[in-house]
Chain A
Amino acid sequence: MNTTLIEYLPYILCIAIICTGLYGTTNSSNYLKKLVSLSILQSGVILFFIAIAKVKDGQIPILACLDFKQCPEQLINPLPHVLMLTAIVVGVATLAVGLALIIRIKEEYGTIEENTLIEAEQND
């Protein structure tokens, strides 16, 4: 029982981070905090992917020599790493565009609090 729980604990913690990010994104009233929570959500997903790639006692995915058959070794799965490099880039791109939008919102409305903004929108 204990060993199985330990074996799944990293995944469960990643999911906890994902849920925290989701909670922050949906419940923060401040738009900047929403964005940072969004990047927490994305970091949680990245952590999850990296965790599934892990191999016990595996080496980092760099070959010791070009011909794998001459020097075989236990390697960590490199494919999720490649995918997550792209996902990090996508995350930072979203964050930057969101930040640009927030700056424009602040200029137009003078606030980035959701409650005040909804009132301002209804008055328009």
Chain B
Amino acid sequence: MKNKVLITVTRFILPFIIAFSFYIQINGSNAPGGGFQAGVIMASAFMLYSIVFGYRSALTFMPFKALKILAILGIMLYGGTGIACMIMGGEFLNYNMIRNNLTTGQMLGISVIEWGVGLTVFATFSLGYYAFITRGGNEHNID
């Protein structure tokens, strides 16, 4: 796409969208928001980029394989936290086992799993978008 207005506005707005998604990710404990919303907003920034600049240029800095690894990393963070809690002697996802003084364990566990959710959601939405946008073209090497 060669619309100058669109490109300028996108360049201007993209950092704000990304910053907003990080804000929601980090500030989720005391305000509305959390990992899921942050992931979706991040993915929509990614979609905006690939709509305006073309998905090929988006592929250069975020290749398909990287997205796959991010998705796995997210789910591993979540499941790994659960299993780590079990190794430390509690139940699955019992964050009290991480640190035993009052709420630190809970806070730590929650922030880790929120990052896991955020990563998986961002990566999966972007993957899905790639899958739909590349279908029908000459190359579909998404698997």
Direct contact of A and B (CB under 8 A): yes
Given the known A-B contacts A62-B30, A62-B31, are A100 and B36 also in contact in the complex, defined by CB atoms under 8 Å? Answer: no
Contact with B along A84-109 (1 / 0, CB 8 A): 01000100000010011001000000
Interface size grouping (class) on chain B? under 10
Within 35-90 of A, Cβ neighbours of B (below 8 Å) are at 60, 62, 85, 89
One of B36, B131, B136 near A85 (C-beta < 8 A): B36
Q: Does A103 contact B31, Cβ atoms closer than 8 Å?
A: no
- A99 to B135 CA separation, bound complex (whole angstroms): 12
Closest Cβ of chain A to B140, distance in Å, is: 11
**Do residues A96 and B128 form an inter-chain contact, with CB atoms below 8 A?**
yes
Number of interface residues of A (CB under 8 A): 8
Q: Residues 131-143 of chain B: 1 if any A CB is under 8 Å from the residue's CB, otherwise 0?
A: 1100110000000
CB distance B135 to A103 under 8 Å? yes
Chain B binding surface SS class: loop
Chain B residues whose C-beta falls within 8 Å of the C-beta of A62 in the assembled complex? 30-32
Main secondary structure of the interface of A (DSSP, over half): helix
What is the bound-complex CA distance between A35 and B32, given in angstroms?
A: 29
A96 and B128 alpha carbons, distance in the complex (Å)? 8
Within 8 A of A (CB), among B1-48: 30-32, 36
> From residue B136, how far is it (CB to closest CB) to chain A in Å?
8
B90-143: which residues lie under 8 A (CB-CB) from chain A?
128, 131-132, 135-136
Could you say which of A60, A62, A85, A96 has the most chain B C-beta atoms within 10 Å of its C-beta?
A96
Separation in Å of the B34 CB from the closest CB of chain A?
8
CA A100 to CA B130, docked complex, whole Å: 12
| Complex contact B132–A103 (CB within 8 A) | yes
Q: How far is the CA of A100 from the CA of B135 in the complex (A)?
A: 10
Instruction: Enumerate chain B residues within 8 angstroms of A100, measured Cβ to Cβ.
Output: 131-132
- Complex-state Cα separation, A93 to B135, whole angstroms: 19
List 13 A-B pairs, Cβ < 8 Å.
A60-B32, A62-B30, A62-B31, A62-B32, A85-B36, A89-B36, A96-B128, A99-B132, A100-B131, A100-B132, A103-B132, A103-B135, A103-B136
CB within 8 Å of A: which residues of B? 30-32, 36, 128, 131-132, 135-136
What is the interface of chain A, defined by CB distance below 8 A to chain B? Answer: 60, 62, 85, 89, 96, 99-100, 103
